Amino acid sequence: MHDVVKYIKDHNIGKYETNYSIKRLTTYKVGGNVSVLVYPRDTKRLILLLKYLKSKKIKYKVIGNGSNLLFSDANYEGVLIKLSEFDKMEIHGTTIKVGSGYSLIKLSKEATKKSLTGLEFASGIPGSIGGSIFMNAGAYKSDMGYVVRSVKVLTPDLQVITLVNKELQFHYRTSFFQKNPDYICLEATIQLKKGKKEAIEQVIKDRLKRRLETQPLEYPSAGSVFRNPKDKYAGELIENLGLKGLYKGKAQISEKHANFIINRGGATASNIRELMELVQSAVKENYGIQLKIEQEMVNWE
């Protein structure tokens, strides 16, 4: 990876780290090391970097806040690209233009300050804008698909284009980007509505209280592990099978919320995946339902 580092330096691509712990990049706090982690300064430099990596056939992945990723315990022999520098945000009336590296929780707070309603569901989702759009993150019967008007993207042939909402194929916990992972979200235009600040703050406060009471926020996790099957709750199915509290190594099915797997300290990625597969198998055997994992599996090949 010496040549990659040299290219990053020579072309002023941005800050970088070598042999960096992936545990520091994901909310599960598991994973091996990545050969090179880089933070491109802007779209122009991102394109330069991608051209180089593609030409050299070097493995790479663009990541957000790592709140919905399960990296394996193996080292990632390649380059992870983090778009933290893509963090510009402007509010014009009820319209927000925001970079893909901006925090979704922070954006929810900024919208509240401006008495804008529509992002209350996002006040507890620890993802970046880009990652949240990729996963179509949501809660409380709302998601990014309801508020994203358009997205500026980088195509696989490194052209910058804009996709509007209907082209983004938002459905429950999925989007155009999951089916087309070589497209990279650069910036989103979000459309909200005017509301009453006190009412918005109260909704967020009530939901925070509920999350603290029902979710194991004191431990590393990636939120809900499984998508809810139609007309059912994954957590309820898991709880009814008596799987709450089950351990694999230092990973545990939360005793507080059965659809959370938590790292009790020192869990491996394999521990977490074993629990996921055990739950899937038990639910399939007892209910005939194939639970779908919300998290993206990375570097397991």
Token reading at 151: 């997205």
Q: Among this protein's residues, is 173 annotated catalytic?
A: yes
Residues 32, 22 contacting (CB under 8 angstroms): yes
How do residues 242-270 score in pLDDT, each as one tens digit? 999 999 999 999 999 999 999 999 999 99
Count of beta carbons in the 10 Å neighbourhood of residue 151: 28
Instruction: Give the containing element (helix H, strand E) for 271.
Output: helix 269-287
Average pLDDT over residues 63-73: 96
- Give rounded-to-5 percent helix, strand, coil for the chain: 35, 30, 40
Is the pLDDT at 219 greater than 90, yes or no?
yes
Query: Which entry of 132, 175, 224, 254 is annotated as an active-site residue?
Result: 224
Is the pLDDT at 1 greater than 90, yes or no?
no
3-state secondary structure of 78: strand
| CATH among 2.30.30.110, 3.20.130.10, 1.10.10.10, 3.30.465.10 for 89-199 | 3.30.465.10
Topology annotation, domain 215-298: 3.90.78
Nearest to 238 by CA among 217, 218, 224: 224
**pTM exceeds 0.75, yes or no:** yes
User: Where do the domains of the chain lie?
Assistant: 2-82, 89-199, 215-298
Q: Among this protein's residues, is 45 annotated catalytic?
A: no
Band the pLDDT of 124: cuts 50, 70, 90: very high
Q: Among this protein's residues, is 224 annotated catalytic?
A: yes
Task: Specify the pairing of strand 95-99 against strand 69-71.
Answer: unpaired
Average pLDDT over residues 272-287: 98
Average pLDDT over residues 193-201: 97
3-state secondary structure of 70: strand
Query: Which entry of 45, 72, 128, 173 is annotated as an active-site residue?
Result: 173
Helix then strand count (H, E) for the chain reads: 8, 18
Query: Quick one: what percent of the chain has pLDDT higher than 70?
Result: 100
| CATH among 3.40.50.300, 3.10.290.10, 3.40.1180.10, 3.30.43.10 for 2-82 | 3.30.43.10
Average pLDDT over residues 9-25: 98
